[in-house]
Amino acid sequence: MEDFEDTREIHLQEPTDRADRPEITELSQKGYLCLKEKKYEEALDFFRKILHIEPENNYALVGIGDAARKQGKYEEAIQFYETCLKYHPANSYALFGLADSYKGIRNYGKAIELWTQYLRHDPHNVTVLTRIADAYRKVKNLQKSKEMYEQVLQIEKDNPYALIGLGHLYFDFKEYDKALHYWERMIQAHPDSIDIRLLTSIGNCFRKMKAYRRGIEYFSKALEKEKDNFYALFGLADCYRGLNQHEESLTYWNRILEKDPHNKVILTRAGDAYRAMGKLAQAEEFYRKALNIEYDAYAVLGLALIAKEKGRYQEALESLEQFRKTDPKNARLYGEIADCYLRMGEKEKALEVVSAALKGGIHNTHLTELFEKLHREVKEP
């Protein structure tokens, strides 16, 4: 699922009060104009010229840091922000940029520390508060993240970044009802600012809750905004799969494959759809395409199930046992292996497999019922 967070900037004001050094004022104004226009190399030229005149100039040091950060050169940006803070410890713009750069290299702890320091100067800055909340969410600190988002909502009742962030927070912790509450509140509060990522996020909530028809509703709205959006296509395909509407599901798997023909996960899902429709030759073709790209356990499983359907039980067993080595806690595998033995007329071996699964701590209603049935039949032939 696509994630999104508050990426708003706190902009450094262009200098206008340096009458004693007019050349620095002019260079600064040109540099920041280039930054706004994303002409980073030109901006850097202007800022470097300032440093030749005044090596400790805060506008130039922050400007170079901003140019590097906006290009994803976070380590370089950190050096310039730290240099600025060495000479100008109270420079809040350098502090903000430094925190954002640490976030860029995923050092969320350091970023939180710096943003918290920033709040001493500006305790009600919602841009910084939401960034701290986002960072706590990234490190899975539910309570601290929730507190920061709620602090934002006390300042701005329907702040979109806080509403979206709370939705993601609860989604990450599988509390889908609460996630929906905040995302639907976001739609009600900001109906003209509905992002495609919000639609797919709500769709994913319903998909996880197995409310597939509601999921289809939101993924379809997302496709209206962007006809080839991967997350919307995947969501629709998976919802139709959940409804056992495999032909519809296949339509969307194939649309993804038109853009990404070597995606082994989608090739395997398409193979599953063909197999569910009884089109075993096509299913086998797609599973083998996936395996030609890279080993995929579910493609191996699909081929094993096809072999089982065609009566090639020994071949199916070999593949299923291979898969079991990579996923020994998969309850379905034990059921499929047991079914192969049953089709071969070997009830005792089927019972051994199911018994091993239950003794291994795999709790599954189907396996428990199968064990009881086989146990009775083996004891009382």
pLDDT digits (tens, 9 = 90+) for 96-143: 999 999 999 999 999 999 999 999 988 999 999 999 999 999 999 999
pLDDT at 325: 87
Residue 274 has pLDDT above 90, yes or no: yes
Instruction: With cut-offs at 50, 70 and 90, classify the pLDDT of residue 7.
Output: low
Instruction: State the residue for tokens 């507190």.
Output: 147
The per-residue pLDDT for range 44-87, each reduced to its tens digit, is 999 999 999 999 999 999 999 999 999 999 999 999 999 999 99
The pLDDT assigned to 355 comes to 93
pLDDT grade, residue 3 (50/70/90)?
A: low
Give the per-residue pLDDT at 16: 44
* Gap between the Cα atoms of 267 and 307, Å rounded: 18
pLDDT at 322: 86
pLDDT score, position 2:
55
> In this predicted structure, what is the pLDDT of residue 251?
98
Mean predicted confidence (pLDDT) in 327-347: 93
pLDDT tens-place string over residues 160-218: 999 999 999 999 999 999 999 999 999 999 998 888 999 999 999 999 999 999 999 99
Predicted confidence band of residue 18 (pLDDT cuts 50, 70, 90): very low
Stretch 295-318: mean pLDDT: 94
Q: What is the pLDDT of residue 290?
A: 97
pTM summary value: 0.82
Is residue 150 within 8 Å of 142, Cβ to Cβ?
A: no
CB burial of residue 224 (10 Å; 0-12, 13-18, 19+)? exposed
**Over the chain, what is the mean pLDDT?**
92
**Architecture in CATH for domain 1-123:** Alpha Horseshoe (1.25)
Is residue 4 pLDDT above 90, yes or no?
Answer: no
Q: Which of 198-202, 272-276, 362-366 has the lowest mean pLDDT?
A: 362-366
Q: What is the pLDDT of residue 12?
A: 46
Tell me the C-alpha distance between 70 and 167, whole Å: 27
Q: Which residues contact 47 (CB under 8 A, 6 or more apart)?
A: 27, 28, 31, 59, 60, 61, 63, 64, 67
Which tokens hold the place of 24? 């620095």
Mean pLDDT over 28-37 rounds to 94
Return the minimum-mean-pLDDT range out of 18-22, 171-175, 217-221, 296-300: 18-22
Looking at residue 379, its pLDDT comes to: 74
